[in-house]
Amino acid sequence: MANTLLDTVWDMHTVRRLPNGETQLFIGLHLVHEVTSPQAFQMLAERGLRVRYPERTFATVDHIIPTDAQQRPYADGMAEQMFAAIEENVRVNDLPFFDRSTGRQGIVHVIGPELGLTQPGMTIACGDSHTSTHGAFGAVAFGVGTSQVRDVLATQCMSVAKPKLRRIEVNGRLSAGVFAKDVILHIIGSLGVQGGVGYAYEYGGTVLDGMSMDERMTICNMSIEGGARVGYVNPDATTEAYIEGREYAPAGDEFQRAAAWWRSLASGPGASYDDIVTMDGADIPPMVTWGINPGQVTGVDDVVPSLEALDGPGRVTAEEALEHMSLEPGRPVAGIPIDVAFVGSCTNARLSDLHEAARVAQGGRVADGVKALVVPGSQRIRAEAEAAGLHEIFQEAGFEWREAGCSMCLAMNPDKLQGDQVCASSSNRNFKGRQGSPTGRTLLMSPAMVAAAALAGEVADVRRMVAS
Amino acid sequence: MSDGAVIDRIVGRGVPVRGNDIDTDRIIPARYLREITFEGLGPHAFEDDRRALNGAHPLDDPRFAGAGVLVVNENFGCGSSREHAPQALLRRGIQAIVGESFAEIFFGNCVTIGLPCVTMDPQHVESLQALLDEAPDAELAIDIDAQQVVTDQGAYPAAVPASARASFLTGRWDALGQLLENADEVQATSARLPYLTGW
Ligand code: SF4
């Protein structure tokens, strides 16, 4: 029977089975950012250990970095302290560090692929749950906690249980105005926010086959929102074309040999899965969340569900959600007024996302009273977008054009919601308090839908805006 | 490298924190991730939820003061991988969490820092939460090996996955010691990876 990519990659990286039954798994690529690493470096130092494979760990700064004023020392003393810590840690341990001076800084899950560090067949770890993003390349990529960051620094290994595997096939075609973000929100809405616990998700089907790497990254990024720690797409010609020529990618003959190996890893036609789910792309509309987790989501032309429609345990969470969101059950999702529009995050701040948002914003005007910002995922994306003139389109429409970082995705920098503001956001989490105000409210949607909401001042169906 | 203490039995009073899908942003808001140590996190656990409830959150209920066992519902700890969440609970004096189900990264983070998460059927969690409402002084004993939660009223069947159980019962819940044991095998594994050997 044919193996799955998960089996092949797992076996190849298995050092041994630990006495507790978990696998000691070798990690091929370790990515580090400023927020979840200082305690790990400190634990390492306390035990008198050094980084074991410094050439396999790469660091950047993204979470806390201001995306407006740039001068060091930062006005925010704690941000400054956190920067000083990572600078010292990469210096002492001699780790490659992509800070702003390199022109290669950005959200860790954006720059890994962009630099060609992320490759098929690797195991990848990072102290960040959205490490699943890298699975778009056919890597097995895990989000880990700080103690495991320490483990990987000290040994290049982690102790982990092999997940079960669910294949999610999306076939058919997507309608105009429907994007990768809508597909993954639809998947999470169908399978639930804990449907993936204990599973890795393998995404496939004709919709995934036809997607660009940017789109596949959006899908894999939000695996964790569906409970799955790992999500991946089998490598193919699209994967190879993306990687070829990138800074850390193999070149020449090596590239040919690498590409042949990458292709050999893909799950074969008779591979067996613990579960298979199939969906039809034609059934997916532009999606908008109405609640406080990403599974509380519906089509833009639908209504906020009535509590009667929700049975069992979901109902308690829904009641809490509707109260936090101050939304009436049964009201249409379209027309919910917004205060802030955020295009950014490791889910949707790549060049193609900015293009889609700009297409909607072009020639329009951000509604009165709405604060709209565009935060590119990396310095390089920012430069490419500027070369294409996207910043002018955004600025003329009244959007702020920012430097690269996580920004209002988790509001660890000065970009925060105020009070009970409502934000249309292209990020991945609508948790209570996520965007910096405990009473703030987040509506997740695609970048094009965020741009549409910014112009309309309320949730709007992007299919109508583009058509009209 | 020394291992940690054997964790086989946790005895303490419980505090029910109800709700499904309680994410790590709620357990510890991101603004507390700006500290470069875990030390001061304890008092900030559930800060925004507690502030919103204005004293009515179970963690602020004097009847539950000093409780060491959190009793929660489904998918507890979902969202961000921040170890700050279990660290904040641990530093607040939580020694074990009993719930219907846990998010995976959160569960793993808890094992690594010696904080057992034990699952029980929904109806048992509900009856345990109800028991605590009525008798907040009730003592709970969590037996990791026997996989049960024992109260005066009787024993509830519980579950701890085999790997976590083995880790707690041998005191080897912090994996680093074991991962450091076999540098040669690690080297041998890396030597068969095409992307490290130049294809
Ligand atoms: S953009 Fe948001 S989700 Fe992505 S790494 Fe940054 S904070 Fe995390």
Counting Cα atoms < 13 Å in the Cβ hemisphere of A189 gives 23
Q: What mean pLDDT value characterizes chain B?
A: 96
Q: Which residues of B touch A64 (CB under 8 A)?
A: 34
Beta strands (DSSP E) in A375-421 are 400-401
Does the pLDDT of residue A248 top 70, yes or no? Answer: yes
Q: What is the pLDDT of residues A290-299, one digit of tens each?
A: 999 999 999 9
Looking at residue B1, its pLDDT comes to 42
A130 CB near ligand 1 (under 6 Å): yes
Does the pLDDT of residue A63 top 90, yes or no? Answer: yes
Looking at residue A466, its pLDDT comes to 67
User: Which of A32, A107, A129, A223 has most ligand 1 atoms within 8 Å of its beta carbon, as the pocket-test mutant?
Assistant: A107
A1 — pLDDT class (breaks 50, 70, 90): low
Does the pLDDT of residue B114 top 90, yes or no? Answer: yes
A72 — pLDDT class (breaks 50, 70, 90): confident
Distance to chain A for B9, nearest Cα, Å: 18
Ligand 1 atom nearest to CA at A377: 1
Lowest mean pLDDT among A42-46, A66-70, A194-198, B68-72: A66-70
Lowest mean pLDDT among A96-100, A249-253, A312-316, B123-127: A312-316
CA distance A212 to A236: 11
Residue A354 in 3-state DSSP? helix
Q: Whose CA is nearest to atom 6 of ligand 1?
A: A406
Distance to chain A for B179, nearest Cα, Å: 6
Looking at residue A313, its pLDDT comes to 64
Ligand 1 atom nearest to CA at A33: 5
Please indicate whether, in this complex, the C-beta atoms of B26 and A431 are within 8 angstroms of each other. yes
Substitution target from A407, A431, A441 for chain B, most B beta carbons within 10 A: A431
Give the pLDDT mean for A76-93.
94
Q: What is the pLDDT of residues A378-387, one digit of tens each?
A: 999 999 999 9
Measured between alpha carbons, how far is residue A186 from residues A190, A282, A396, A409, B75 in Å? 6, 12, 33, 20, 20
Residue type, A438: P
Question: Over the range A34-68, which residues count as b (16 or more CB within 10 Å of their CB) and which as e?
Answer: bbbbbbbbbbbeeeebebbbbebbbbbbbbbbbbe
- Partners of A160 in the β-ladder: A23
The DSSP call for residue A381 is H
- Indicate the residue of B52, B178, B193 with minimum beta-carbon distance to A18: B178
- Residue B166 has phi, psi (to 5 degrees) of -60, -40
Looking at residue A308, its pLDDT comes to 81
* A171 in contact with chain B, both atoms CB, cutoff 8 A: no
The fraction of chain B above a pLDDT of 90, given in percent, is 96
A76 — pLDDT class (breaks 50, 70, 90): confident
Helix (H) or strand (E) holding A158: strand A157-160
* B119 in contact with chain A, both atoms CB, cutoff 8 A: no
Does the pLDDT of residue B2 top 70, yes or no? Answer: no
CA distance A18 to A25: 10
The fraction of chain A above a pLDDT of 70, given in percent, is 98
Does the pLDDT of residue A309 top 80, yes or no? Answer: no
- Partners of A357 in the β-ladder: none
Please indicate whether, in this complex, the C-beta atoms of A20 and B163 are within 8 angstroms of each other. yes
Q: What is the pLDDT of residues A331-362, one digit of tens each?
A: 999 999 999 999 999 999 999 999 999 999 99
A265 CB near ligand 1 (under 6 Å): no
Which parts of B92-175 fold into alpha helices (H)?
104-112, 122-134, 162-170
Give the pLDDT mean for B114-135.
97
User: How far is CA A321 from its chain centroid?
Assistant: 23
- What is the value of ipTM here, to two decimals? 0.95
User: How far is CA A195 from its chain centroid?
Assistant: 18
- Indicate the residue of A15, A39, A63 with minimum beta-carbon distance to B189: A15
* B123 in contact with chain A, both atoms CB, cutoff 8 A: no
Residue B163 · residue B131 · CB < 8 Å: no
Give the pLDDT mean for A40-62.
96
Does the pLDDT of residue A2 top 90, yes or no? Answer: no
Sorted by where each starts, the structural domains of chain B and their CATH numbers stand as: 9-172 (3.20.19.10)
* B154 in contact with chain A, both atoms CB, cutoff 8 A: no
Does the pTM surpass 0.90? The reply is yes
